[in-house]
């Protein structure tokens, strides 16, 4: 069983007012918080790979320097489904027992413990898992390779949430340590409201 972490770093963040992923916050670009955490995590695990999908050269170059596979996704501006498709198609192949973990680059408070618990949840019979705080769910999400055809059927700006919801009891909720881990950054104000520490 292989576990493929797919880090989606392609959105521009229209509501942010500029490219939020490249926005310098507390000394480094916003996307680096998640990328650095994941790059460190895969150095400590032998069961997973890291692929970074981005339409931005700076992000792809940094990801490559950190040892990740990189994928250019020039059609990401058409919607999230195009980024997901680029990520899946970049894999060298997968077995039915493999899992894909999707993480997004605008969650600077996401912790390695949460990602590790999601990866550890992968087992035969599980279709999906999602990060959660009580009944509130969010990213990252883990999908069995069995669901790849459904993920590839997504269109426009639809993400994997509909696929996740269709899994019913075969989707496990993995609790995060703090609700802030689920927060994604849509505005500069959101960075300030959620605290100064990443």
Peptide bond into 143 cis (omega under 30): no
The pLDDT, as a whole number, for residue 160 is 78
The DSSP letter of residue 147 is G
The pLDDT, as a whole number, for residue 138 is 92
- Residue 154: band (very low, low, confident or very high) from pLDDT cuts 50, 70, 90: confident
The pLDDT, as a whole number, for residue 197 is 54
Question: Please, what are the domains in the chain?
Answer: 3-193 (3.90.550.10)
Encoded tokens for 3 = 């576990």
pLDDT tens digits for range 58-110: 999 999 999 999 999 866 667 677 888 888 888 878 888 999 999 999 999 99
pLDDT tens digits for range 157-173: 777 788 888 888 889 99
Length of the chain: 198
């Amino acid at each position: 069983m292989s576990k493929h972490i797919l880090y989606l770093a392609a959105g521009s963040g229209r509501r942010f007012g500029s490219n939020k992923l490249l926005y310098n916050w507390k000394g480094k670009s916003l996307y680096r918080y998640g990328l650095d955490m994941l790059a460190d995590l895969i150095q400590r695990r032998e069961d997973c790979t890291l692929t970074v999908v981005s339409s931005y050269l700076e992000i792809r170059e940094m990801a490559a320097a950190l040892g990740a596979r990189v994928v250019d996704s020039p059609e990401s501006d058409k919607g999230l489904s195009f980024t997901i498709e680029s990520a899946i198609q970049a894999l060298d192949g997968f077995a039915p027992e493999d899992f894909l973990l999707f993480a997004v680059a605008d969650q600077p408070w996401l912790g390695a413990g949460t990602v590790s618990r999601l990866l550890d949840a992968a087992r035969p019979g599980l279709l999906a898992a999602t990060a959660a705080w009580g009944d509130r769910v969010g990213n990252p999400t883990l999908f069995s390779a069995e669901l790849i055809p459904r993920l590839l059927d997504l269109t426009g700006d639809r993400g994997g949430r509909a696929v996740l919801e269709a899994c019913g009891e075969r989707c496990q909720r993995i609790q995060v340590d703090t609700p802030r881990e689920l927060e994604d950054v849509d505005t500069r104000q959101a960075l300030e409201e959620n605290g100064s520490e990443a």
